[in-house]
Amino acid sequence: MATVEAVSENEFKEKTSTGTVLVDFYADWCGPCKMIAPVLERLAAEYTNARIVKVNIDEAGQLAKEQRVMSIPTLVLFRDGKEAGRLIGVHAEQAIRDLIEE
């Protein structure tokens, strides 16, 4: 069963370069990020054709800046290294599913 994998700034490019990858930009102190975490864990366990990873913006500030993350949580979908969609803030599980399945 897959889980949401924490990814460092140095691993980011490698982890998002192939396939479908949903990146959760978050911070440990962020209440809305904590609300969405169980949903992302559930989806990570369910999807076999997509991976879900998370990036702590407090540890990867430069990466967050490069990815234009202005508020959290920000979910960015990558397909073979290219941004394919983005959700900012807390969204219903179905909206996240729709983003992954686009």
Please give the pLDDT value at position 102: 83
Neighbours of 15 (CB within 10 A): 18
User: pTM of the predicted model, to two decimals?
Assistant: 0.95
Angle between helix axes 31-46 and 93-101 (nearest 10 degrees) is 50
Q: Write b or e for each residue in 57-82: b if 16 or more Cβ atoms lie within 10 A of its Cβ, otherwise e.
A: beebeebbeebebeebbbbbbbeeee
pLDDT range class, residue 2, cuts 50, 70, 90: confident
Q: What tens digit of pLDDT does each residue of 45-77 get? A: 999 999 999 999 999 999 999 999 999 999 999
Would you name the residues annotated as active-site residues? 30, 33
pLDDT range class, residue 1, cuts 50, 70, 90: low
Average pLDDT in the 17-46 region?
Answer: 96
Average pLDDT in the 30-36 region?
Answer: 96
Q: Which domains does the chain have, with CATH numbers?
A: 5-101 (3.40.30.10)
